[in-house]
């Protein structure tokens, strides 16, 4: 037996009552929520900002115009932020800069290594002797400049790190060079005859004064036919003059006006010396020496011992200067 629903009330879920006779009990409900009280008055409208607001400290943007309280306790909206600068492009641009930096670093390192290798190679080459005498030796007297053949200063090098023309090795200063290269004008006496017999082609002369300013010398480079025979024979003749009581004067002095050699002439010759080159250098070097002030050798009285040695210093100076030029000419072909 079922009971009809009370008047004025429908089933809470809109379903018909169960046929078993059980009636669902009404669900308990708590008190209804109380709505929040309405504000008594609308929030005040903030005053309009001044026409020219005061500048913000440190250059910040002025505060937003809507600074009133936010409903429901929310934070006010943030002020307009300064736009951040655009981020640098990533990927290919940054990688290219890194690659460029690496390449520049590697290039600098290679430059340093290459410079060091070049310096080492140049030093190594400077220590090598690459002879060019076979082709260049016979013609260097025509191809070399005057300043190379007869340098402004010359001296016997103290070791292999110096050249005869280096100023640090200087023992003689050049006064002048002859323009006349004929064999007759450059050599005198038996020396001239011997050179012509061996086929003398030219005689190149220059006058030097030693660093003391007391000794003057004329150097003659005798150019002979290509081959070793003529140069060797001329060298043997010049060596033989070293032991003569009265050696041949050999070279005609070259006077140079306006210098310490302005009065240098044949009557002032005191010594001579020379040497031959040979092999690929068909040359001989002959030297005549004297005193700048005209003092002559062999002026001591006969009863003085050692009178024969009075000429020897001049002879030694001439021989030493000829050997210096021997070394210098050989180096020109290297």
Phi, psi at 319, each rounded to 5°: -65, -45
Q: Give the pLDDT confidence of 20-35 residue by residue, as tens digits.
A: 444 555 554 555 555 5
Largest distance between two CA atoms of the chain? 187
> CA–CA separation, 317 vs 315, rounded Å?
5
Q: Give the pLDDT confidence of 51-62 residue by residue, as tens digits.
A: 555 554 544 445
Q: Give the pLDDT confidence of 131-164 residue by residue, as tens digits.
A: 555 678 899 999 999 999 999 999 988 888 889 9
Q: Which residue shows structure tokens 């260097």?
A: 140
Beta-sheet pairing, 215-223 with 281-291: antiparallel
Q: Give the pLDDT confidence of 222-279 residue by residue, as tens digits.
A: 999 988 789 999 999 999 988 887 788 789 999 999 999 999 999 999 999 999 998 8
Mean pLDDT of the chain: 75
The 3-state DSSP class for residue 282 equals strand
pLDDT category, 123, cuts 50, 70, 90? very low
pLDDT value of position 159: 82
Per-residue pLDDT at 18 exceeds 50: no
Q: Give the pLDDT confidence of 198-216 residue by residue, as tens digits.
A: 999 999 999 999 999 999 9
Which structure tokens are listed for 166? 């280096």
Q: CA separation (Å) from 52 to 28, 49, 62, 152, 314?
A: 64, 8, 11, 88, 108
Percent of the chain with pLDDT over 70: 56
Q: Pick 304 or 317 by higher pLDDT.
A: 317
The 3-state DSSP class for residue 215 equals strand
pLDDT value of position 157: 86
The 3-state DSSP class for residue 49 equals coil
Question: In this structure, what is the dihedral angle of CA atoms 131, 135, 136, 137, given to the nearest 10 degrees?
Answer: 80
**Closest of 85, 83, 84, 48 to residue 66, by C-alpha:** 48
**Closest of 196, 331, 229, 217 to residue 274, by C-alpha:** 217
By CB atoms closer than 10 A (0-12, 13-18, 19+), residue 189 is middle
pLDDT category, 108, cuts 50, 70, 90? low
Per-residue pLDDT at 304 exceeds 70: no
């Amino acid at each position: 037996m079922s009971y009809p629903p009370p008047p004025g009330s429908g089933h809470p879920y809109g379903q018909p009552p169960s046929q078993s006779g059980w009636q669902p009990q009404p669900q308990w409900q708590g008190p209804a929520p109380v709505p929040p009280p309405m504000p008594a008055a609308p929030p005040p409208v903030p005053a309009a900002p001044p026409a020219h607001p005061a500048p913000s400290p440190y250059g910040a943007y002025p505060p937003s115009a809507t600074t009133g309280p936010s409903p429901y306790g929310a934070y006010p909206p943030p002020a307009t932020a300064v736009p951040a600068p655009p981020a640098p492009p990533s990927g290919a641009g940054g990688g290219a800069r890194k690659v460029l930096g690496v390449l520049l670093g590697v290039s600098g390192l290679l430059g340093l290594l290459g410079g060091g290798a070049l310096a080492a190679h140049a030093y190594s080459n400077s220590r090598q002797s690459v002879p060019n005498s076979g082709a260049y030796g016979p013609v260097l007297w025509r191809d070399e400049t005057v300043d190379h053949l007869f340098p402004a200063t010359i001296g016997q090098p103290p070791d292999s790190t110096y050249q005869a023309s280096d100023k640090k090795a200087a023992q003689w200063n050049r006064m002048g060079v002859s323009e006349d290269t004929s064999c007759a004008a450059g050599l005198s006496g038996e020396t001239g005859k011997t050179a012509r017999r061996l086929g003398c082609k030219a005689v190149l002369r220059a006058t030097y004064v030693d660093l003391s300013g007391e000794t003057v010398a004329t150097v003659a480079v005798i150019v002979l036919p290509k081959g070793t025979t003529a140069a060797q024979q001329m060298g043997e003749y010049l060596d033989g003059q070293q032991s003569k009581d009265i050696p041949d004067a050999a070279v005609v002095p070259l006077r140079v006006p306006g210098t310490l050699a302005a009065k240098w002439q044949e009557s002032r010759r005191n010594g001579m010396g020379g040497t031959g080159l040979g092999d690929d250098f068909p040359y001989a070097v002959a030297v005549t020496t004297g005193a700048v002030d005209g003092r002559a050798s062999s002026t001591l009285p006969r009863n003085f011992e050692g009178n024969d040695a009075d000429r020897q210093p001049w002879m030694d100076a001439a021989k030493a200067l000829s050997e210096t030029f021997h070394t210098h000419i050989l180096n020109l072909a290297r």
